[in-house]
Amino acid sequence: MHATQYDIPSELLAGRVILVTGATQGIGRAVALGAARHGATVVLLARNIKRLEAVYDEIVSAGSPEPAAIPLDLLTASDEDFNAVAFKIHQELGRLDGIVHCASHFYALSPLRDQGIEEWMNQFRINTVAPAALTRACLPLLAQSPDASVLAVGESHGLHPGPYWGGFAVSHAGLPHWVKMAASEWDVCPNLRINLLVPGPVQSPQRTRTHPGEAKTEVPPTDSVVPAFLYWLGPQSRGQSGQIIELNPQR
pLDDT digits (tens, 9 = 90+) for 222-239: 888 999 999 999 999 999
Query: Would you call 78 exposed, middle or buried from its count of C-beta atoms within 10 A (0-12, 13-18, 19+)?
Result: exposed
Q: CA angle, 82 as apex, 77 and 85 as ends, to 5°?
A: 120
Domain total for the chain?
Answer: 1
pLDDT number for residue 212: 57
Considering the domain boundaries, does residue 142 fall inside one?
A: yes
Confidence category of residue 4, pLDDT binned at 50, 70, 90: low
Range of the domain at 124: 17-246
| CATH code for position 114 | 3.40.50.720
Contact 212, 168 (CB under 8 A): no
Instruction: Evaluate whether residue 9 is within a structural domain.
Output: no
Mean pLDDT in residue range 7-26: 93
Whether 11 maps to a domain, the answer reads: no
CB contact burial 94-113 (16+ within 10 A = b; e otherwise)? ebbbbbbbbbbbbbeeeeee
Position 168 in a domain: yes
pTM strictly above 0.95: no
Question: What three-state secondary structure class fits 20?
Answer: strand
Task: Answer whether residue 71 is part of any domain.
Answer: yes
Give domain status of residue 24, yes or no.
yes
Whether 165 is in a domain gets the answer: yes
Segment 179-217, tens digit of pLDDT: 999 999 999 999 999 999 998 776 556 655 555 555 556
Q: What is the pLDDT of residues 53-90, one digit of tens each?
A: 999 999 999 999 999 999 999 999 999 999 999 999 99
Structural domain contains residue 192? yes
pLDDT of residue 9: 84
